[in-house]
């Protein structure tokens, strides 16, 4: 199968999902000559940050439409197919997150599925009519019960199909089956790829790249760098593998000591190095407020520390190893067209230069976290090490929001519009005077969160959030007030990255992690960032803590998690007792339009 990557956040995921079904799938570029598509049994066109309604990115190899193989498009791809065959696309009808797809019964693409399927949307443009040979094979209904036509279209005579939703993301409940129906039933492919085969291929690839040199791996202790370390150890032997664990001052409570113990237990302590570089990181972040600048400075400091240590240890000529996984690359805008959602620490410009110079070994760049865990299991790593929640390289640095104290207010109409919608659901609302990072229709969205207060059912709350974030421009996130009253006003406080604030955040995070274990929820949740936001919601002095529990499988999409009331009570008591904290909220936003982390 060929997957044409138009730069959507999920293009690579499509290929992964096909490979997981045992079928070879390769990424192709939109401008590849039509001959590059020879030999494939079918083509899938990905989503894109571009707008089909405005003719953006329309200069691709249209000759693919003359090929005698089935073609399926998702989101932008769906709209392009509709337009190519005489349909119309307009810039309206946007949807983010969950939607119900009402499918045309009996169509082979939906074989074995229900008449209403839960699917995942992230789009600004919509197909509003189709050409003569096409028909609607599904329509969608989103949070506020609005019906959207042409959510799935097809022409069985031309073998051209389109889905407005993203079947490749895990939140489309039976997306795998839909893709499999296309690959097997419509394109007639057969199965043959496996994780064992991938492991053997990677070991060979690493050996070929490294030759008789050695590798110096930045080992945070997270799942990715741990699996990368064990794989590299297997490929080149522990003698030629140096591990460096850096305490960047942005780690969790007692994290570094635990990480060093883990590597010893894994037998990777032969060349295990440790450096406390917290001073350097805090100095680099001093007075910095914007998320991308913080990320870049953290990434650069990692490289400086790494180079300094490598020189000190006399191994500066070694290759740099990293446990980079696919989402790190795509979110950094690392494929030709993808928008930068956030620059991951292992993709800052200096590292990009080292990659171009062939000085970096990264055996996991094709994988997502679920695959990394599966690979780790094949490599014999303990389940407890593999089930650890993902923790971002920049650590608590991206969970400690900063501000120069000047409120970044939304517009009055934004506040009014949000209030109108919220009150319809029995909720009070305030647009918060700062911003957080999110992702909408494959584009970075640095927008305002809305604070919601009110005692409503979870489903009602989620509907309200979906309606607010899709209908009010400039809003990408909602948080639910776990305090007692809705604040008259939320004021922003001047706050930067300091040891004191990190200490508060670290304690709040430790409370959350311990409570998740005690309530037996840790393994049920993908990740639960605790974020410290310089906002005062009450008369009491102190900042606001945001809890961000999400379910996900690959972090490309995520859904917020409802916490049991008893757990909320414990967290409220313990977190609000911390010096420096006076507000507590729960992030109730899906990804998109929010991202898992706030920065
Ligand atoms: P977002 O916030 O983009 O995060 O939804 C997706 C996943 O990536 C993690 N994350 C990072 N991991 N370096 C990393 O190694 C980074 O710079 C980084 N930023 C986000 C995040 O925790 C989530 O699991």
d(CA 221, CA 259): 5
Mean pLDDT on 516-528: 97
Residue 392, φ and ψ in degrees, nearest 5: -65, 150
pLDDT, position 192: 82
d(CA 192, CA 21): 8
Mean pLDDT on 155-171: 96
Confirm or reject: Cβ of 587 under 6 Å from ligand 1. no
What is the pairing mode between strands 26-28 and 215-218?
unpaired
Give distance in angstroms: CA of 390 to centre of ligand 1. 8
Give per-residue pLDDT as tens, 60-111.
999 999 999 999 999 999 999 999 999 999 999 888 888 999 999 899 999 9
Split at pLDDT 50, 70, 90, the class of 334 is: confident
Q: What is the DSSP track for 284-325? A: HHTT--SHHHHHHHHHHHHHHHHHHHHHHHT-TTSEEE----
Do the Cβ atoms of 593 and 560 come closer than 8 Å? no
Residue found by looking up tokens 């070694």 in the block: 318
User: Which one of 390, 395, 439, 591 would you pick to mutate in the ligand 1 pocket, going by the greatest count of ligand atoms within 8 A of its CB?
Assistant: 390
Give distance in angstroms: CA of 126 to centre of ligand 1. 30
CA distances from 201 to 173, 208, 240 (A): 31, 11, 20
Give per-residue pLDDT as tens, 175-184.
999 999 999 9
Q: Which of 104, 156, 93, 96 is nearest to 126 (CA)?
A: 93
Q: Which atom of ligand 1 is nearest to the CA of 345?
A: 17
Give per-residue pLDDT as tens, 383-398.
989 999 999 989 999 9
User: Which one of 227, 292, 301, 331 would you pick to mutate in the ligand 1 pocket, going by the greatest count of ligand atoms within 8 A of its CB?
Assistant: 331
Confirm or reject: Cβ of 555 under 6 Å from ligand 1. yes
Split at pLDDT 50, 70, 90, the class of 480 is: very high
d(CA 79, CA 552): 27
Nearest residue by C-alpha to atom 14 in ligand 1: 392
pLDDT, position 233: 95
In the structure encoding, which two tokens stand for residue 595, read together? 């991202």
Whether the upstream peptide bond of residue 593 has omega within 30° of 0, thus cis, is: yes
Confirm or reject: Cβ of 342 under 6 Å from ligand 1. yes
- Pick the residue with more confidence: 342 or 569? 569
Confirm or reject: Cβ of 345 under 6 Å from ligand 1. yes
Q: 241-255, 327-341, 502-516: lowest mean pLDDT where?
A: 327-341
pLDDT, position 94: 87
d(CA 161, CA 156): 8
CA quadruple 40, 43, 49, 54: dihedral sign: positive
d(CA 468, CA 463): 9
Give per-residue pLDDT as tens, 396-432.
999 999 999 999 999 999 999 999 999 999 999 999 9
CA quadruple 146, 147, 149, 153: dihedral sign: positive
CA quadruple 320, 321, 323, 324: dihedral sign: positive
In the structure encoding, which two tokens stand for residue 330, read together? 């795509």
Strand partners, 449: 477
Q: Is a pLDDT exceeding 80 seen at residue 381?
A: yes
d(CA 573, CA 15): 46
Confirm or reject: Cβ of 591 under 6 Å from ligand 1. yes
Q: Where are the alpha helices (DSSP H) in 452-498?
A: 458-471
Mean pLDDT of the chain: 94
Q: Is a pLDDT exceeding 80 seen at residue 332?
A: no
pLDDT, position 144: 65
For the annotated catalytic residues, the residue numbers are 75, 166, 168
Q: Which of 539, 522, 442 is nearest to 121 (CA)?
A: 442
User: Which one of 294, 296, 327, 368 would you pick to mutate in the ligand 1 pocket, going by the greatest count of ligand atoms within 8 A of its CB?
Assistant: 327
pLDDT, position 335: 72
In the structure encoding, which two tokens stand for residue 298, read together? 């953290």
pLDDT, position 83: 97
Confirm or reject: Cβ of 550 under 6 Å from ligand 1. no
d(CA 579, CA 507): 10
pLDDT, position 584: 98
CA quadruple 173, 198, 386, 272: dihedral sign: negative
Nearest residue by C-alpha to atom 12 in ligand 1: 392
Do the Cβ atoms of 240 and 361 come closer than 8 Å? no
Confirm or reject: Cβ of 390 under 6 Å from ligand 1. yes
pTM of the full structure:
0.82
Portion of the chain with pLDDT greater than 90, in percent: 83
Q: Is a pLDDT exceeding 90 seen at residue 118?
A: yes
What is the pairing mode between strands 319-321 and 360-361?
parallel
Task: Fill in the DSSP letter of residue 563.
Answer: P
Q: Is a pLDDT exceeding 70 seen at residue 567?
A: yes
User: Which one of 557, 596, 599 would you pick to mutate in the ligand 1 pocket, going by the greatest count of ligand atoms within 8 A of its CB?
Assistant: 596
Q: Is a pLDDT exceeding 70 seen at residue 217?
A: yes
Give distance in angstroms: CA of 599 to centre of ligand 1. 9
CA distance between the termini of the chain = 36
Q: 45-54, 344-353, 486-495: lowest mean pLDDT where?
A: 344-353
Confirm or reject: Cβ of 557 under 6 Å from ligand 1. no
Q: Is a pLDDT exceeding 80 seen at residue 593?
A: yes
Give distance in angstroms: CA of 254 to centre of ligand 1. 21
CA quadruple 19, 22, 28, 30: dihedral sign: negative
pLDDT, position 370: 85
- Helix 195-210, helix 223-236: angle, nearest 10: 70
pLDDT, position 331: 75
Mean pLDDT on 359-384: 92
Confirm or reject: Cβ of 322 under 6 Å from ligand 1. no
Confirm or reject: Cβ of 527 under 6 Å from ligand 1. yes
In the structure encoding, which two tokens stand for residue 584, read together? 């507590």
Q: 28-32, 346-350, 532-536, 540-544: lowest mean pLDDT where?
A: 346-350
Give per-residue pLDDT as tens, 501-515.
999 999 999 999 999
In the structure encoding, which two tokens stand for residue 591, read together? 């990804």
Nearest residue by C-alpha to atom 22 in ligand 1: 392
């Amino acid at each position: 199968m060929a997957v044409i990557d138009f730069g959507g956040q999920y293009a690579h995921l499509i290929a992964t999902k096909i490979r997981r079904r045992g079928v070879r799938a390769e990424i192709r570029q939109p401008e590849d000559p039509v001959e590059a598509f020879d030999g494939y049994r079918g083509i899938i066109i990905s989503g894109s940050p571009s707008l089909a309604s405005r003719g953006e990115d329309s200069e691709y190899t249209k000759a693919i439409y003359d090929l005698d193989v089935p073609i399926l498009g998702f989101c932008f791809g769906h709209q392009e197919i509709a337009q190519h065959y005489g349909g119309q696309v307009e810039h309206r009808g946007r949807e983010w997150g969950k939607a119900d797809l009402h499918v045309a019964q009996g169509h082979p693409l939906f074989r074995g599925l229900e008449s209403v399927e839960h699917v995942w949307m992230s789009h600004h443009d919509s197909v509003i009519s189709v050409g003569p040979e096409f028909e609607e094979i599904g329509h969608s209904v989103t949070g506020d019960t609005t019906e959207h036509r042409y959510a799935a279209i097809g022409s069985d005579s031309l073998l051209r199909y389109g889905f407005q939703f993203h079947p490749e993301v895990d939140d489309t409940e039976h997306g795998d089956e839909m893709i499999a129906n296309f690959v097997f039933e419509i394109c007639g492919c057969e199965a043959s790829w496996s994780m064992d085969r991938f492991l053997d291929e990677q070991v060979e690839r690493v050996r070929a790249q490294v030759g008789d040199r050695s590798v110096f791996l930045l080992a945070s202790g997270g799942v990715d760098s741990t699996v990368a370390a064990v794989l590299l150890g297997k490929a080149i032997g522990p003698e030629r593998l140096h591990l460096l664990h850096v305490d960047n001052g942005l780690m969790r409570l007692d994290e570094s000591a635990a990480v060093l113990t883990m590597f010893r237990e894994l037998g990777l302590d032969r060349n295990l190095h440790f450096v406390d570089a917290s001073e350097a990181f805090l100095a680099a972040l001093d007075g910095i407020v914007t998320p991308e600048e913080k990320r870049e400075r953290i990434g650069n400091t990692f490289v400086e520390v790494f180079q300094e240590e490598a020189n000190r240890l006399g191994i500066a000529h070694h290759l740099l190893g990293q446990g980079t996984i696919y989402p790190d690359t795509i979110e950094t805008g690392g494929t030709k067209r993808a928008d930068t959602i956030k620059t991951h620490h292992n993709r800052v410009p200096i590292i990009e230069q080292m990659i171009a110079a062939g000085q970096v070994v990264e055996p996991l760049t094709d994988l997502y976290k679920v695959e990394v865990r599966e690979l780790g299991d094949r490599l014999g790593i303990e389940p407890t090490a593999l089930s650890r929640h993902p923790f971002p390289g920049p650590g608590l640095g991206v969970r400690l929001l900063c501000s120069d104290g000047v409120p970044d207010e939304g517009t009055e109409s934004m506040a009014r519009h949000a209030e109108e919608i919220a009150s319809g659901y029995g909720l009070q609302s305030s647009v918060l005077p700062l911003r957080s990072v999110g992702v909408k229709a494959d584009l970075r969205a640095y927008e305002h969160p809305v604070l919601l207060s009110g005692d409503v059912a979870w489903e009602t709350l989620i509907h309200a959030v979906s309606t607010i974030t899709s209908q009010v421009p400039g809003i990408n996130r909602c948080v639910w007030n776990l305090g007692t009253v809705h604040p008259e006003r939320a004021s922003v406080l001047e706050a930067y990255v300091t040891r004191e604030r990190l200490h508060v955040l670290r304690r709040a995070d430790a409370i959350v992690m311990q409570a998740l274990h005690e309530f037996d929820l840790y393994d049920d949740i993908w990740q639960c960032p605790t974020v410290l936001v310089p906002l005062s919601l009450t008369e009491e002095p102190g900042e606001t803590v945001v809890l961000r529990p999400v379910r996900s499988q690959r972090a490309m999409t995520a859904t917020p998690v409802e916490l049991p009331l008893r757990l909320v009570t414990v967290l409220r008591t313990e977190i609000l007792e911390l010096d420096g904290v006076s507000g507590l909220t729960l992030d109730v936003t899906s990804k998109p339009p929010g991202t898992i982390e706030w920065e």
